[in-house]
A and B are shown apart, each in its own frame.
Chain A
Amino acid sequence: GAGVSQTPSNKVTEKGKYVELRCDPISGHTALYWYRQSLGQGPEFLIYFQGTGAADDSGLPNDRFFAVRPEGSVSTLKIQRTERGDSAVYLCASSLKAGGDTQYFGPGTRLTVL
């Protein structure tokens, strides 16, 4: 079946602009996660959704970052007033349910802030 998909695959924006990154999880997966991978590092947790609600957003670096999952499927990560330090690959993952299950990752969105 189809895996996790993310759009766009690449996004180049200017400092100060607003961006949205989209994630389509595997069908039927109730848990969804966002991670950020900076160059030369492993992914770092940002936020976790169980259904429509953000169960844990402790990894969001500041209030410029926000994510939604209004219908419990597709999720959008939103970044306001982008900064050069936000440049990274943003990875989305989903699992059948929270706790114990394997997280399956999408291909990521490479965000470049000029």
Chain B
Amino acid sequence: AQSVAQPEDQVNVAEGNPLTVKCTYSVSGNPYLFWYVQYPNRGLQFLLKYITGDNLVKGSYGFEAEFNKSQTSFHLKKPSALVSDSALYFCAVRGSNDYKLSFGAGTTVTVRA
């Protein structure tokens, strides 16, 4: 079975400060890891993914994530948050031989001006 944990329901940061959203996972075999963002009344928007290669993955809108195999983590980061980054963020995982994604419960990010 595969699963994702997002330990923080909410993350609050001031604009211009670094933003980190935590994710840990459990999967058989090599993980395929994804981050999605959801704005109110909108679908999930793809941010970035890790399949293989460099542990630091760069994605859309200045976001990046670091894959850590020993800690089974894939934390999302942004060096300088914007008010427009306020949204619901989901981490997802699947196994290399699978296709269905397992999602965490989501983390609500609020960036205050």
| A-side contacts of B104, CB under 8 Å | 42
Given contacts A105-B44, A106-B43, contact A40 B99 (CB under 8 A): no
B11 at the interface (CB under 8 A from A): no
Q: Whole-angstrom distance from the CB of B83 to the nearest CB of chain A?
A: 23
- Among B36, B44, B45, the most chain A Cβ lie within 10 Å of the Cβ of B44
| Contacting pair B105 A40 (CB below 8 A) | yes
Q: Do B101 and A103 touch (CB < 8 A)?
A: yes
Decide if A44 is an interface residue (CB 8 Å cutoff). yes
What's the A-B contact tally at a CB cutoff of 8 Å? 57
Question: For residue A33, which residues in chain B have a CB less than 8 angstroms away from its CB?
Answer: 99-101
| Contact mask for chain A residues 92-111; partner B; CB cutoff 8 A; 1 contact, 0 none | 01000011101111111000
Tier of interface size on chain B: 20 to 34
The distance in angstroms between the C-alpha atoms of A31 and B99, with both chains bound, is 10
A21 within 8 A of B: no
Contact A42 B103 (CB under 8 A): yes
Question: Given the complex of chains A and B, what is the CA–CA distance between A40 and B36 in angstroms?
Answer: 15
Query: Judging by beta carbons under 8 Å apart, are A105 and B36 in contact?
Result: yes
The verdict on A41 contacting B43 (CB below 8 Å), with A33-B100, A102-B49 known, is no
- Kindly list chain B residues whose C-beta atoms are within 8 Å of the C-beta of A35: 101
Question: Which residues in B have their C-beta under 8 angstroms from that of A6?
Answer: 43
Please tell me if the beta carbons of A91 and B43 are within 8 angstroms of each other in the complex. Answer: yes
B34 at the interface (CB under 8 A from A): yes
A79 interface residue (CB < 8 Å to B)? no
Structural contact, A44 and B43, CB atoms closer than 8 A? no
Which of B42, B46, B101, B106 has the most C-beta atoms of chain A within 10 angstroms of its own C-beta? Answer: B101
User: With a CB–CB cut-off of 8 A, which chain B residues contact A65?
Assistant: none
CB contact list, B61-111 vs A, under 8 A: 90, 92, 97, 99-106
Which of A4, A31, A42, A100 lies in contact with B90, CB distance below 8 A? A42
> Which A residues between 12 and 54 are near B, CB-CB below 8 angstroms?
31, 33, 35, 40-45, 48
Which residues of A are found within 8 Å of B49, using beta-carbon distances?
A: 102
**Distance in Å: Cβ of A111 to nearest Cβ of chain B:** 14
Instruction: In the A-B complex, list the 6 residue pairs whose CB atoms are closest, starting with the nearest.
Output: A42-B103, A105-B44, A45-B100, A107-B43, A105-B43, A98-B99
